[in-house]
Amino acid sequence: MNNPGSPPIPAPPGPSSDGTRRVLDHWFRHEYGRLVAILTRQLGAARLGLAEDVVQDALLRASQVWPYRGVPPNPTAWLLVTARNRARDICRRDSRWSAAVDQITHTIESTATQACEQEAATFAHEIRDAELRMMMVCCHPRLSTDGQLALILKTLAGFGEQEIAAAFLVKRETVAKRLVRARRTLRDERIETDLPPDAELPGRVKTILHALYLLFNEGYKASTGEVIIRAELCREADRLLAQLQAWPPADLPETQAMAALFAFHQARFPARLDEAGQPILLAEQNRSRWDRTLLRRGMACLARSAAGDQVSRYHLEAGIAACHSLAPSYEKTDWNRIIDLYARLEKLAPSPAVSINRALALAEATNDRAGLEHLTTAVDERQVADYHLYFSAKAKLLHGIGSPEALPTLEHAIALAPLSVEKEQLQGLRERWEQT
């Protein structure tokens, strides 16, 4: 029995095949957060570190056993039982938890029994409840904002420290320290997994939305690895957001706006890459391949997001995505509307990325010189010294006005690009420029 809502798991084709690795990677992403949430719900937030450790050990054990024996009929139960045994062994050796061995064993065993014996709908409800509570634990007000975001990405989404560092634009060591401090606070403050009082809900929901936004962005445009789109991360962010939407206190206009944004972006996935995995620019995408069902879902969520009296960054970004999604062609895009939305976004949530995109939109609506003027005025180049997208945008605008600085700027962008597919795309652009 697979987890409700998860795709069926194919049997690994061999002990060291790429297929096996893909299966295990899928299960690490989709099961890590669920398993940690379930165990933390049973053991308490103070033992989050124990839950994370035993789940990692269980997944490691699966990577060693499944390729030879095949994926078990109930992978979740297998992992929970393995985690239970590991937790029991750790507690027996550790004097801090020796008095709680019986309780820990009982609670994890009962959870594993649920996975094996309960009706699918009942266990699915248990997963949803555990994950919702885990989201709230990760966003407890006694944790720093940085710690909250790092914890939810690590604990619920299975992010590695390097991926979190890329999302925050900080060093990996900084992320590791934030996670250590966050876990220590949960332990020392004896924070429980109970849902927070009503007065604290809006702040917690905003933090969760921010974390899911970062998670989706890492999938939409990966910062590490060999592929530029990691659709499984986007689906995971979308899944967690749906859990939040289904809970009435968290079904806020901002939540609906983010759901619209995710739907619009995911709708374009079928047209974003060519057969070789190379990214296809928006201007060159085959719009007939866009997912109409997701586009309709995005419009419905965007309409529901208008229920409140405040506009969030997610409303503005969803509006920009809607402009692109509704345009019959790239040439017929409402660039003036997009410029206006980016201008409002610059005031509400300023960032180099927002200013870069506004500059490119200005170039489309007016001319490259206007876009370049805004880019160089709105963005402090010292703050984006390592940001290849800034230099690639600047190079394109310089090329548009015939500046000899275009090619050296593009070369700099190529050198900074973190992914090989991005380097190859920019190198192709350089070759076209050199031929003209």
In CATH terms, the fold of domain 341-436 is 1.25.40
> What is the arithmetic mean of pLDDT over 233-261?
91
pLDDT tens, 121-144?
444 555 667 788 888 888 888 888
Neighbouring CB atoms inside 10 A of 188's CB total 10
Tokens of 324: 């692109």
pLDDT tens, 237-249?
898 899 899 888 8
pLDDT above 70 (res 252): yes
Separation CA 105–CA 424 (nearest Å):
53
Q: What angle do CA 83, 232, 180 make, to 5 degrees?
A: 50
Q: What is the pTM of this model?
A: 0.77
Coil, helix or strand for 111? Answer: helix
Residues in Cβ contact with 153 at an 8 Å cutoff, skipping those fewer than 6 apart = 159, 163, 164, 167, 211, 214, 215
Tell me the percentage of the chain whose pLDDT exceeds 70.
83
> What pLDDT is attached to residue 13?
40
> What pLDDT is attached to residue 384?
94
Burial 351-369 (b: 16+ CB within 10 A, else e): ebbbbbbbbbbbbbbeebe
pLDDT above 70 (res 151): yes
Separation CA 184–CA 207 (nearest Å):
20
pLDDT tens, 43-72?
766 677 777 888 888 888 888 888 778 878
Contacts within 8 Å (CB) and 24+ apart, 91-94: 91/50
Q: Is residue 405 very low, low, confident or very high in pLDDT (cuts 50, 70, 90)?
A: very high
> What pLDDT is attached to residue 362?
98
Residue 113 · residue 76 · CB < 8 Å:
no
Higher pLDDT, 246 or 15: 246
Cβ burial, residue 80 (10 Å; 0-12/13-18/19+): buried
Residue 225 one-letter amino acid: G
Question: How far is residue 60 from each of residues 43, 54, 56, 67, 402, measured CA to CA in Å?
Answer: 21, 10, 6, 12, 55
Separation CA 60–CA 65 (nearest Å):
9
Separation CA 299–CA 260 (nearest Å):
7
pLDDT tens, 342-393?
999 999 999 999 999 999 999 999 999 999 999 999 999 999 999 999 999 9
> What pLDDT is attached to residue 410?
98
> What is the arithmetic mean of pLDDT over 157-178?
85
pLDDT tens, 69-100?
887 877 777 887 788 778 777 766 665 555 55
> What pLDDT is attached to residue 17?
52
> What pLDDT is attached to residue 2?
37
pLDDT tens, 284-341?
999 999 999 999 999 999 999 999 888 999 999 999 999 999 999 999 999 999 999 9
User: Which residue shows structure tokens 């027996």?
Assistant: 92
Q: Is residue 8 very low, low, confident or very high in pLDDT (cuts 50, 70, 90)?
A: very low
Q: What angle do CA 93, 99, 104 make, to 5 degrees?
A: 80
pLDDT tens, 381-400?
999 999 999 999 999 999 99
β-partners of residue 273 are: 279
Q: Is residue 261 very low, low, confident or very high in pLDDT (cuts 50, 70, 90)?
A: very high
Reduce the secondary structure of 46-98 to three states and give it as a string. Answer: HHHHHHHHHHHHHHHHHHHHHHHHCCCCCHHHHHHHHHHHHHHHHHHHCCCCH
Q: Which sequence spans correspond to the domains of the chain?
A: 252-333, 341-436
